Structure 1
Amino acid sequence: MNIRPATRADSADIVILDDIASSGLASHVLEVGVRDGRYDRPLEFGRDGYAFIDGPFSWKNVLIAETEDGIAGMSLSFELTGGPGDQDLSDPVLDPLEALKAKAIGTRLIDSVAVYTRFRGQGIGRALVEAELSRATGPSSIITHDTNTRALSLYQSLGFEEQRRAAYVAFSKNHAAAQWVLLTRPALQSRGAQTSVQ
């Protein structure tokens, strides 16, 4: 398994994996591009967004995990500055997430971590989070929902600690989550840890 910086050509995989990471929230948000007639499908809008729009949600902020069988997963992170570029598309479903982001300004937010189903159980998610921690120059943050117990366990095993919770606004009938959970951890150098990416 190899972790590398993404390229523009990875944008289709990035948006699919972002949708997996968000349990469909990305598709829900990207519906705006379909409603206004610019695109036929949300993921098409997202692919073009990752490929051609500069800002936090760009291929330039993504790491790709590859195996001999191709792209297996990805992670996306960026510095939370509190500026307008930190925001996703406007949607009431996102308001609680944006409130949590506001409490994590000054951290590097690991916004998305996802692994395709057939590649799970091989340590790829852990390797991606470790790679994100190694490229952070200060503290890191991550947000997930309260029913994502596997992810919460992984993040806590890597030194993340819960800081705050916010209401989870349902966007589909397929979710039992009640809260978003914000976790943070200090910079690697302040914990005396080192991570290497192969």
Structure 2
Amino acid sequence: MHIRPATRADSADIVILDDIASSGLATRVLEAGVREGCYDRPLEFGRDGYAFIDGPFSWKNVLIAETGDGVAGMSLSFELTGGPGDQGLPDPVLEPLETLKSRAIGSRFIDSVAVYTRFRGQGIGRALLRAELDRAAGPSSIITDDANSRALSLYQSFGFEEQGRAPIIAFSDTHTATQWVLLTRPAANAHGAPASAQ
């Protein structure tokens, strides 16, 4: 397995993996393109968005984990500046997420880390997270939900600490979590450990 910068050609995998990372929230938000008649399917809208729209949610901010069998996973991150570009598409279900993100301005926000089901358990998610931390010049932040104990444990093992919670506005009958959880990690020292651990 190796990790490489994404290319525009990875956009279809990126949108599928983003939907996996968000437990279907990405599809919910992308349905706006279908309702407006611009696209037939949400994932088509998302693929074109990642491929052709500049900004935080672009293939240019993605790392791809690849094995001999092809794309296995991805991560997406960008600097939170507090400007309008930090936000995704307008949707009421995203408002609690945007509120939490506003508490992490000045950090590198890891928006998504996802691995295809058949590649899980091989350390790919851990390797992607490490690569994201390596490209962060300062502190890092990430949001997950309170039902994702595996992700929470992984992030905490890398020195992330909980900074706040916000209620989840229901977007799916199958999503059981009730709160979004914001975690942050201070800037790393030269050895990769959080600076507070020196």
Q: Deviations for 1:145-190, whole angstroms, at most 9, x for unmatched residues? A: 0000000000000100000000011101101111000000011127
* Equivalent residue, structure 2, for 1:103: 103
State the TM-score, normalizing by the size of structure 1. 0.96
Greater than 4 Å deviation, 4+ residue runs: none
The alpha-carbon deviation at position 19 of structure 1 amounts to 0.3
Distance 1:192 1:121 in 2: 23
Map of 2:57 onto structure 1: 57
Counterpart position of 1:128: 128
- How big is the shift at 1:193? 2.9
Superposition TM-score, scaled by structure 2 size? 0.96
Instruction: Find the counterpart in structure 2 of residue 15 from structure 1.
Output: 15
Deviations 1:46-77 (A, max 9, x none): 00000000000000000000001110000000
For 2:174, what is the secondary structure of its paired residue?
coil
1:93-138, Cα deviation, whole Å (9 max, x unpaired) = 0000000000000000000000000000000000000000000000
Q: Percent identity?
A: 81
SS state at 1:20 partner:
helix
Instruction: Give 3-state SS (helix, strand or coil) of 1:175's partner.
Output: coil
Cα separation, 2, equivalents of 1:151 and 1:93: 21
Aligned partner of 2:177 in structure 1 is: 177
1:112 aligns with 2:112: yes
Residue type of the partner of 1:10?
A: D
Any stretches of 5+ residues in structure 1 without a counterpart?
none
Backbone CA RMSD of aligned residues: 1.2
Matched letter for residue 78 of structure 2: F
Q: Secondary structure at the match of 1:189?
A: coil
